[in-house]
Structure 1
Amino acid sequence: MDATRIAELTAGRSVTVQAGGQDLDLLFEEPSAVEALPRVERLLAGFAAVRDRSTAYLWEWDADGTEDARERAAFLAALVPTTLAVTGAGGLVLHYEDIDERYLMDGYWPAVHLDAELAPVEVTIES
């Protein structure tokens, strides 16, 4: 990441980057979160795989076992992460803000929290 983008991030702005064939907003929630930049760059380099694992994790988190393969495929195709938030503690959270109301009420979206190995470990609902 170049010096201009790092300066934007430390000023509290988000930047849009290309990752895994899609646009992704990158948001450092606090200036100290920039210290996580090496992990962020590793995530962005393998973003397609991280995105697929996170979206599948989100499906498993909410599935009750009565869904069929067609429903799962539609869900996985419909959900695309829009933002990668980096917390002050260096945590990485993928936000799925552009979500159809058939999956979640308007104004709410799921967020998948990643561990140090970039594996999904928790889902929260944001507003």
Structure 2
Amino acid sequence: MITYEGPGGVVLLIDTEDPAEAERLAPRLRRAAEQREELARRAVEAVVRRFSVEPPTAEDLAEAGADLVLDTIEVDGEGEVILHFTDSCGKHLLDGYWPAVRFDERDAVVDVTIEA
């Protein structure tokens, strides 16, 4: 696992110990880091939609955008990007849990999970 703390304190992570694999995945991680604001916005929206009973309001999305702080951008061996968030106010998730959103190689959201 290769990690680097990038701009704004966001951890950049490549999930491999193989230098050749890391080199292959580095451009994908770079692209995700460059697009982090847009990906984070879309990821927060996906989290809210996934766990809301009713369609979220603009206020719901704005509140979640303020409360969920991007913590880590990870790229896995398949080239998928996973954004991990911190619940900065502690009112959305139990302590020790965080939302993660997985994007495919075309940056489409493919999964939203809660991790521990």
- Tell whether the structures are fold-level matches, with TM greater than 0.5: yes
1:87, 1:77 → 2: CA distance? Answer: 27
Q: Partner amino acid for 1:94?
A: L
Alignment correspondent of 1:120: 109
Alignment correspondent of 2:13: 27
Distance of aligned partners of 1:126 and 1:38 in 2 relative to their CA distance in 1, 3 Å threshold: same
RMSD: 2.0
1:70, 1:52 → 2: CA distance? Answer: 14
Length, aligned pairs only: 113
- State the percentage of identical aligned residues: 29
1:42, 1:88 → 2: CA distance? Answer: 15
1:79, 1:95 → 2: CA distance? Answer: 9
Name the one with the larger strand percent. Answer: 2
Q: Partner amino acid for 1:72?
A: L
Gaps of 5+ in 1: 1-11
CA contact (8 A) 2:49 2:56 kept: no
CA contact (8 A) 2:68 2:86 kept: no
TM-score (norm 1): 0.76
Alignment correspondent of 1:110: 99
Q: Which 4+ residue blocks in structure 1 deviate beyond 4 angstroms? A: none
Gaps of 5+ in 2: none
Q: Partner amino acid for 1:126?
A: E
- 1:107 Cα shift? 0.8
Larger radius of gyration: 1
Stretch deviating more after TM superposition (35-44 or 97-106): 97-106
SS at match of 1:80: strand
Alignment correspondent of 1:96: 85
Distance of aligned partners of 1:91 and 1:24 in 2 relative to their CA distance in 1, 3 Å threshold: same
1:59, 1:102 → 2: CA distance? Answer: 14
Q: Partner amino acid for 1:110?
A: P
1:28, 1:108 → 2: CA distance? Answer: 21
2:30, 2:2 → 1: CA distance? Answer: 18
TM-score (norm 2): 0.83
Alignment correspondent of 2:75: 86
Stretch deviating more after TM superposition (68-77 or 78-87): 68-77
